[in-house]
Chains A and B, each alone.
Chain A
Amino acid sequence: MTVRTAELLMALMMGIFSIYLMHKSVELPIGWIEDEGPGGGAWPFWLSSIMLISCIGIIYNWFRKKGPIATSTKTYIQSHVLMEVSSVALALIITVALFSFIGIYGALPLFLLFYLRVLGKHRWLLSITLATLIPIIIFYFFEITLKIILPKGITEPLFIPLYKMFF
């Protein structure tokens, strides 16, 4: 896919999103209400219309072939870059999905092992050491020092004795 094609697709998608936002805005009154001023939907409605007009402007420039992006025939994302970026993005998505099931302390070591060993090609020893150490530091820093309780999923019961130790 060329940059030029991507430009059109992105503008179309954002245009559709703008229309959806306009549609959601009219759930509240967008006109003038006596003694209350503009209705609750007015602000987002007119702003989403501005979004839509901007998208139409971008598409208009695309047809006129104006600007460096609208005329670029370069590849939008080269295949080896796409491999790299999408594996990182996928790893993040899977990690976040796992937060709710095996908890943050189950998901983070897996994420770290994958990143360090598979993507970074570091030695096993270094990968395993960091994958254990970093979650421990995070536990001490966030849960003990800052008292921000992070999601645990099914591992919740394992942490009850730990909390008893610290609080």
Chain B
Amino acid sequence: MLEILGLLADGFTVVFEPQNLMLIIGGCALGLFIGAMPGLGSVNGVAILLPLTFLVPPTGAIIFLAAIYYGAMYGGAISSIMLGIPGASTAVATTFDGRPLAKQGMADKALTGAAVASFVGGSISVVLFTFFAPPLAHIALVFGSPEEFALMMLAFATFVGLGGDDLFKTIFSIAIGLVLSAIGFDIISGEPRLVLWDITGFLHGINFLVLAIGIYGIGEMLWTVEENALGGGKSMLSDATVTVARTFANLRELVSSWKTMVMGSVLGYFVGILPAAGATPGSLMSYGIAKQMSKDPDSFGEGNLEGVVAPEAANNAASTGSMLPMLTLGIPGSPTTAILLGGMVIWGLEPGPRLFTDHSEFVWGLIASLYAANLFAVIINIAFIPVFIQILKTPFTILAPIIFILCLIGGYAPTQDMHDVWLMLVFGIVGYLMRKLDYPLAPAVLAIVLGPLAEPALRQSLIISDGSFAIFFNRTYSGPIMIAALLFLFLPVFKMAYEKIRNKVSS
């Protein structure tokens, strides 16, 4: 306990270095800006802006990205409330009551509520994180390749079992991500592998950023172009009156919602830890529970402040929760943390439990920066509410070309090869066409990051066991993890069988 506090204090000395402090403030502001734009959320921001971090040392880079992540989670509420369009899927539940409040002329109340709830969610979850992470990392220190592979299987299996998308399309998405990550060289024999159409550009493999920016940058923007074309390009921006006196009155009113905030925070944190669950289901569940807890459930959906507070506390808490498996086990639970993990590999860090012992400064700098980013994000958010409303008035046709250009440069920067820019365009366009057919794409991004870690883990395990898959089941930790993975994997089959039997019985 005391040891953890000491390490956390060390982390804060890293955070308060002037350069890192600037990165946090800049990252929060950028994240708020990206989050506030309709359609763009934390994953898009982190994917598009990761190439900007190549200059600063890893600790600065992860601090910057974590600040963007946090800022974007705050910012998502702004367009949900002001435009009625969720800034990202994580802020969908915020529209339910945020939009009605804005229509009644109380947009400032909803915005302040969202900001404060996000702050509470972030703070509670980061405290939970601080005390859960080191023991988990400690247990994970004994993990070998079979456990690593079992954990990755579990991460993919949860997408199949809990993702809620078409079964075959989810499996396809995972498999294609893993195959794309295998392109380049075979790690063990050193031979060139899967050099598609014998194009030499494939020899250096496919950087995960090429796929991530393709899907979350280009693909997402094409999707937004379509939405704008369908909606005639017009959106209804609500009016908001923001004065200092009103802000203080709003803050006082929020005190009575503390129970909802705490509930949302704790729930969001634990849902966030699960791979494939995360911020979107967390915020929806929190909204549902807040409605049940309420003395006046009928007012939900018509502008109840609790309906804004509950999902916002949960989605921020979930984004912290999803960092737990990423940092302690090296297994990201969401596309955003997958991209952060990919970034760590680029910066030369080896993800996994050893991070806590080998790069303690990095880990604790990141954790301390979560505390700081949370504080700065709430201050910037409340102080600049009028500015963010102005930003929403910027026409999409001005922002779009700028984001496209950032994507093109972001695809070029990691390898400085035009081949990758072309590949990114292909991923973007094909990804857009697939998304229109409800192919889930997040598993593919997770897979391309985990592929280079999963393959050696599998091959080393099989070498140890001389080719027997039993090794995954007869070890203390990998056995239960693998069985859990199989249960999730076959969950859709069980469900189908159950429904068939029920139908037969009822007929």
A residues near B, CB below 8 A? 3, 6-7, 10, 14, 20-21, 24-25, 27-28, 32, 36-41, 43-44, 47-48, 50-51, 54-55, 57-58, 61, 67-69, 76-78, 80-81, 84-85, 88-89, 92-93, 95-96, 99-100, 104, 108, 111-112, 115-116, 119-122, 130, 134, 138, 142, 145-151
Contacts and interface: CB of A to CB of B under 8 A. Distances in A.
29 contacts: A3-B437, A14-B176, A21-B179, A21-B194, A24-B194, A28-B186, A28-B193, A36-B188, A38-B462, A40-B188, A43-B455, A44-B193, A47-B175, A48-B179, A50-B171, A50-B175, A54-B169, A54-B172, A57-B167, A61-B166, A76-B436, A84-B225, A85-B229, A88-B221, A96-B425, A111-B404, A112-B401, A149-B416, A150-B409
Interface stretch (B8-16, B89-97, B392-400): B392-400
B469 to A, nearest CB: 11
Given A3-B437, A10-B437, A88 B179 contact: no
Given A44-B182, A146-B54, A54 B171 contact: yes
B172 A58 contact: yes
A121 B458 CA distance: 55
B182 A89 contact: no
B433 A10 contact: yes
Contacts of A44: 179, 182, 193-194
A85 B188 contact: no
A132 to B, nearest CB: 14
A92 B182 CA distance: 28
Nearest to B413: A148
B218 interface: yes
B402 to A, nearest CB: 7
B55 A7 contact: no
Interface residues of B, number: 63
Interface string B432-463: 11101111000000000000000100111011
Nearest to A54: B172
Given A10-B434, A43-B455, A51-B175, A138 B421 contact: no
B191 A120 contact: no
A32 to B, nearest CB: 6
A120 B182 contact: no
Interface in B204-232: 218, 221-222, 225-226, 228-230
Contacts of B395: 120, 122
B379 interface: no
Contacts of A100: 418
**Those 7 A-B pairs whose CB atoms lie nearest each other, nearest first:** A120-B397, A40-B186, A57-B168, A54-B172, A115-B401, A37-B463, A84-B229
B408 A95 contact: yes
Interface in B180-196: 182, 186, 188-189, 191, 193-196
Contacts of B105: none
A146 B52 contact: yes
Interface string B126-169: 00000000000000000000000000000000000000001111
A147 to B, nearest CB: 7
Interface of B: 51-52, 54-55, 166-169, 171-172, 175-176, 178-179, 182, 186, 188-189, 191, 193-196, 218, 221-222, 225-226, 228-230, 395, 397-398, 400-402, 404-405, 408-409, 412-413, 416, 418, 421-422, 425, 429, 432-434, 436-439, 455, 458-460, 462-463, 467
Contact of A122 (B54, B178, B218, B398): B398
Contacts of B167: 57
Contacts of A32: 467
Contacts of A68: 438
A96 B179 CA distance: 26
Contacts of A147: 55
Contacts of A48: 175, 179
A69 B462 CA distance: 40
Given A41-B193, A43-B459, A151-B418, A89 B429 contact: yes
Contacts of A69: 166, 437-438
Given A43-B455, A88-B221, A130-B398, 5 more contacts: A10-B439, A43-B459, A44-B194, A48-B175, A96-B421
Query: In the complex, which of the residues B179, B196, B459 has the most CB atoms of chain A within 10 Å of its own CB atom?
Result: B179
Nearest to A44: B182
B459 A61 contact: no
Contact of A54 (B168, B408, B437): B168
Contacts of B179: 21, 44, 47-48, 51
Contact of A88 (B178, B222, B402): B222
A96 B402 CA distance: 15
A84 B462 CA distance: 51
Contacts of A47: 175, 178-179, 182
A155 to B, nearest CB: 15
B285 to A, nearest CB: 24
A44 B51 CA distance: 28
Contacts of A37: 188, 459-460, 462-463, 467
Contacts of B432: 85
B63 to A, nearest CB: 17
Given A69-B438, A146-B55, A96 B422 contact: yes
A146 B409 CA distance: 12
A85 B230 CA distance: 11
A36 B401 contact: no
Nearest to B459: A37
A69 B455 CA distance: 33
